[in-house]
Amino acid sequence: MSIGIGIVGVGMISNFHAKAIADSANGRLVGCYNRSSERAQQFAAAHNCQVYGSLEDMLADPEISAVAICTPSGAHLEPALAAAQAGKHVIVEKPLEVTPEKCDQIIDACAQANVKLAVTFQSRFHRSSQLMKAAVDEGRFGKITMGDTYVKWFRSQEYYDSGAWRGTWALDGGGALMNQAIHSVDLLLWLMGPVQRVSAMMGTMTHERIEVEDIVVANVQFENGALGVIEATTTAFPGALKRVEIAGNKGSAVLEEEDIKQWQFADETADDAAIRESMSGQTQTGGGAADPAAIGHHGHTEVFNDFLEAIEHDREPLINGPEGRRSVEVICAIYESARSGQTVTL
C-alpha cells in the first residue's frame, strides 16, 4: 500500500522531501500547502501534486496519512500539533523545533494522538556513519576519551538576506550551530552518548543584519567522561566538509561527510583495510559546505523509508521525537553558556 503524504512549507528543503518521497518504497506525494499560494503552485507543478488552500483543507483530506513539515525551523510547532490532532503521522525537517520545550509539545501531541513522529537527520543513514556507530557499540575504541565535530562552512550575506526569517532567533532558532551544524551535533551525540556540561563562546563576525551567531566554539564533557569540542561557523570561505572525530585508547576514526578519513584500531580486523579503501571518495556532493542546495536527497530517502516502514509495522522510527530533541537541548545549552559566560550543566 502507498502512504499519502502532504508537505507543509515549500522552501528549498521541500524539494528534497518531494524527491525522497518519489524514490521511497511506499510513499506518495499527494499535495502541498504554503502561505504563499504562488510558490505552492510552482512547487505543485514541479512535483505533480495538488495545492491546498489551507492547512485545515490538507489535514481534512483522507488521502493524506502523513505530513512532512518543511516550514522555517521556529515554525514547526503549529503545523506539527495540527497534524497530530488530525491523526496524521508527522515527519519534521531538522531541527524538531528551536527549544526543548517546543520539542516536548510536539512529542507529547504525537504520543497522545498515537501517531508516528520522525526527524530528518539523514547523516545517520550514511554507510560511513553506520560503520562508525558499529565500532563504538563493539567497543573497538577502548575507553573513548574524545569526541569532536567541526563544521567550517561558508554562507554569503545574500543567503541571509534571501529570507526575512533567516538569521532570526524566533524562526531560525540560532545561526551556524542550530541551522548548519545540527546534523553534526546529532551524529556526535548518537556516537558519544549524552552530554553532561558545556562551556561556550560565540559571536557574529562577518555577516550583517542577522541576530544569530556566525561562529561558535564549545567545550563539551560527555556523561561517559570523555571531552570534546563542537565548532561551527558560516564564515569560513570557501567552506569545508563537516568532520566528526572519535578517539580512544584503542582506536581513532574520522568521518568527513560520507567519507572515512581515518580508521585505525589497536585490534585490526579482517574488514578494516577494505573499509579504509572503500569508504574514501564516497561524498558525491558539496555537502552543503558553501551551497545549501549542494546536497543529495538519498539520505532523506532513507529517512522516509524508515518512517513509512514504522507506520506500516507500527514501530518507532529510528530517529523519533526524543532522538530529534537531543541535539536541540545541547545547542540551547551552548547558547546559554555563550550568553552567560558560565558552564551549563544539562
pLDDT tops 90 at residue 280: no
Mean pLDDT for 37-52 is 97
Is residue 109 within a helix (H) or strand (E), and if so which, with residue range? helix 100-113
Averaged pLDDT, 48-68: 98
Residue with grid cell 485545515, as numbered in its chain? 56
Mean pLDDT rounded to a whole number for the chain: 96
- Say what the pLDDT of residue 107 is: 98
pLDDT band at 263 (very low <50, low <70, confident <90, very high): very high
pLDDT at 290: 78
In the chain, where the domains are located: 3-123+297-320, 125-291+328-345
pLDDT band at residue 128 using 50, 70 and 90 as cut-offs: very high
What was the pLDDT predicted at 126? Answer: 95
pLDDT of residue 39 exceeding 90, the answer is yes
Answer yes or no: are the C-beta atoms of 73 and 44 closer than 8 Å.
no
Q: Residue 299: pLDDT band by 50, 70, 90 thresholds?
A: very high
Q: pLDDT above 70 covers what percent of the chain?
A: 100
Does residue 165 or residue 295 have the better pLDDT? 165
**Exposed / middle / buried, residue 314 (Cβ in 10 Å: 0-12, 13-18, 19+):** exposed
At the topology level of CATH, where does 125-291+328-345 sit? Dihydrodipicolinate Reductase; domain 2 (3.30.360)
Cell 585490526: give the residue: 268
Mean pLDDT of 104-122: 98
Q: Which cell goes with 163?
A: 529570507
pLDDT tens, residue by residue, 217-233 = 999 999 999 999 999 99
DSSP-derived secondary structure letter, 138: T
Q: What is the mean pLDDT of residues 43-62?
A: 98
- Containing 314, the helix (H) or strand (E) segment is none
DSSP 8-state assignment for residue 177: I
**Pairing status of strand 259-265 against strand 227-233:** unpaired
Q: In degrees to the nearest 10, what's the CA dihedral of 157, 163, 164, 167?
A: -50
Residue 145, judged by CB atoms within 10 A of its CB (0-12, 13-18, 19+), counts as middle
How far are the Cα atoms of 12, 15, 18, 65, 169 from residue 45, in angstroms, in the given order?
15, 12, 12, 22, 33
pLDDT surpassing 80 at residue 56: yes
3-123+297-320 and 125-291+328-345 share one CATH topology?
Answer: no
pTM summary value? 0.96
pLDDT number for residue 70? 98
pLDDT at 294 (0 to 100): 74
What does the chain come to in residues? 346
Residue 287 reports pLDDT greater than 80: no
- Residue 198 grid coordinates: 558545556
Segment 278-295 mean pLDDT = 80
Q: Compute φ and ψ for 199, nearest 5 degrees.
A: -140, 125
Q: What is the mean pLDDT of residues 315-327?
A: 98
Please determine, for residue 293, whether its predicted confidence score (pLDDT) is greater than 80: no
Instruction: Say which CATH topology domain 3-123+297-320 has.
Output: Rossmann fold (3.40.50)
- For residue 345 the three cell numbers come to 550543566
- Give the model's pLDDT for residue 285: 75
Q: State yes or no: pLDDT of 289 exceeds 90.
A: no
Q: What is the pLDDT of residues 139-157, one digit of tens each?
A: 999 999 999 999 999 999 9
Give pLDDT, residue 20.
98
Residue with cell 524539494: 15
Distances (CA, A) of 134 to 139, 143, 294, 323: 9, 15, 28, 18
Question: What count of Cα atoms within 13 Å lies in the side-chain half-sphere of residue 332?
Answer: 18
DSSP category for residue 75: G
DSSP string, 54-70: SHHHHHH-TT--EEEE-
Average pLDDT over residues 255-261: 95
